[in-house]
Amino acid sequence: MRLPQFGSVPSFSNTPGRELLARSQVLKRSWPFVLDLCVAAMGLACFYAVVRICMFWAGPPSEQMVVSLSPRSLPLYAFYSVVRIFLAYVLSLVFAITYGYTAAYNKRVEPLMIAALDIMQSIPVLSFLPPVMLAMIRLFPTRHIGVELGAIVLIFTGAVWNMAFSFYSSLKSIPRELVEATNIYRYSAPQRLFQLELPFAAIGLVWNSIMSVAGGWFFLMACEMFHFGSRDFRLPGLGSYLQTAADAGNGHAILYGLLTMVAIIVATDQLVWRPLITWSDKFKFEQVESSKHGSSPLLHILTHSAGVQAILKHTTVPLGEAFYQRLAKARAARMEKLATAPAQETGAAAAARVLPWVLILVVAAAVVFAAQRALILLSPVDRAQYAELLKGAGATFLRVNFSLLLAAGWTIPVGVAIGFNPRLARIAQPLAQIAASVPATALFPVILLALVRLGGGLGLGSIVLMLLGTQWYILFNVIAGAMAIPTDLKEVATLFRFSRFERWRKVILPGIFPYLITGMVTASGGAWNASIIAEYFRLNNRTLTTLGLGAQISSATEHGQFPILLLGTILISLMVVTTNRLVWRPLYRLAETRYRLG
């Protein structure tokens, strides 16, 4: 799925290829349609399994947790939220690396895994929120850990796919001769991982981590406070603080909350991302040294500190040495055995060959069963409800595209102006970055409150939220695109006295086209995702709602109507995947072939 927030974009001089700024499109469709069906079936199966579990464990009613609005409790809340994000991120990183590695080196499952990736990163994760939450809560009767885990799992499902895809495609693009060198010089798999694969993938992983964590904040704000039926689940954290503050209409608390949010984001940027980006610079796969280098005082301290070096020298270094020596010995023993007893298929080996097939069969059977049960779950939905859902889908579709148009409408001229003017860029860039880094979901209660006071409704509010969450993708991509237009092209336009109109048509628009498309693809996914919280919102114990698929999904959640929830999720996933396949992918391909500069 796409992450509708940008978080911290450190600086444009460090901006890597635009493929790193957004989810990567699978350009070449290398798998048959059947596999897409398989993935869809698995999705259904997962959904059913989760729903089943949570229906099974009808738990005791939960006690109310009171969120204090005192500024003194803010540091603790902020800490809770940061820990949640951190745990979810670590989980995502481990999973992404495992997933990417398996997909890249296991030819049999590769197409299926990549098809799954492509779909998983397209579907809106928020509609999975209620079942995941409920399942987790019932899994752990101790209330807190259940809700905590639910939030973490949800952030994880939002953050992991782009990282997995980035790692997978890095593995696939390692130059052949480097791989051959590791083979001929007898590198063990761990040594290859640490000396070749991870370094090669590092830059992509860092940039995608930044995106994932920013997206994580977006979801966390939404899922720290969440209603299901009569129940009201709350986690102490920044998100619940802000929502409670908005509920109570407490202006001071809102301000403190937002300031804390900005402070956290600036701190993460300075203390984590900047050092990481600077550090990952050495993993650039380049033959000549580039002149551009970022700098990070923190990294400098870490790498030049005698203390840190000493600790490393006495911990990881000897451990690593022992590990590698054992691996080498194991290899020698294996080769000797192979040489004395030439390959003979033992019973165990034969079993090991059959086992995966048995496993695949069992899993396939389970998937088919669960997917079918999930479809049965849909049977109580009547025709009127179908019609209602389709109408909602139409409304949300219009809303998403309208907000995209609005976003493109203001970001293209502004982005081009910033991109063409270095002086303006110096002023506008940091401002835009801070504005972009505040999760839209954190601002939403505040903005909605203001809108309601002014007499507006959620119809307008939902578009504002979509806009807030997604415009930055387009803006940053347009700026990067405008900066990438070569000076000589601009000079040609001046030399031949292109009119303003011609300049835009012949130089600027084609020049930014690939970047614009990348931004729009990502923004469109983000807007769909945002629709789930944007169209249905509880404020001051009042439920604001507007016609739309997102509202229907949220309402089904609150009223515990699983069939509608399931159908809505299927519908929204189908819409996103279909638009991707029919609109964005062809445009993307066009951008890659026709409008690629250099």
- The answer to whether 87 and 152 have CB atoms below 8 angstroms apart is yes
181 binds another protein (CB under 8 A): yes
- Each residue 463-492 as x (binds another protein by CB under 8 A) or -, in order, gives ------------------------------
Q: Which of 338, 358, 361, 582 binds another protein (CB under 8 A)?
A: 338
As a whole number of angstroms, the distance between CA 465 and CA 447 comes to 9
Q: Which of 339, 348, 384, 454 binds another protein (CB under 8 A)?
A: 339
Q: Which is nearer to another protein, 282 or 497 (CB)?
A: 282
345 binds another protein (CB under 8 A): no
Cα–Cα nearest to 440, from 475, 470, 410: 470
Strands 225-228, 231-234: pairing kind:
antiparallel
As a whole number of angstroms, the distance between CA 315 and CA 324 comes to 15
Please work out the total of residues on this chain that contact another protein, with binding judged by CB under 8 A.
39
As a whole number of angstroms, the distance between CA 425 and CA 418 comes to 5
Which residue carries 């590698």 as its tokens?
Answer: 324
Packing angle, helices 549-558 and 383-420, rounded to 10? 120
191 binds another protein (CB under 8 A): yes
Torsion of CA 98, 101, 103, 109, to 10 degrees: -80
586 binds another protein (CB under 8 A): no
Phi and psi for 66 in degrees, rounded to 5?
Answer: -90, 125
196 binds another protein (CB under 8 A): yes
Considering only the stretches 26-34, 143-151, 187-195, 465-473, report the one whose residues sit in contact with another protein under the rule CB under 8 A.
Answer: 187-195
Q: Which is nearer to another protein, 70 or 340 (CB)?
A: 340
287 binds another protein (CB under 8 A): yes
Helix (H, G, I), strand (E, B) or coil at 537: strand
As a whole number of angstroms, the distance between CA 54 and CA 299 comes to 46
Helix (H, G, I), strand (E, B) or coil at 544: strand
Write down the least CB distance from residue 290 to another protein, Å: 9
Q: Which is nearer to another protein, 102 or 182 (CB)?
A: 182
187 binds another protein (CB under 8 A): yes
Q: Which is nearer to another protein, 58 or 184 (CB)?
A: 184
Write down the least CB distance from residue 584 to another protein, Å: 17
450 binds another protein (CB under 8 A): no
| CA–CA–CA angle 145, 564, 244 (5° rounding) | 45
Write down the least CB distance from residue 113 to another protein, Å: 24
316 binds another protein (CB under 8 A): no
Helix (H, G, I), strand (E, B) or coil at 485: coil
Q: Which residues contact another protein (rule: CB under 8 A)?
A: 175, 177-178, 180-181, 183-188, 191, 195-196, 199, 282-289, 321, 324-329, 332, 335, 338-339, 342-343, 590, 593-594
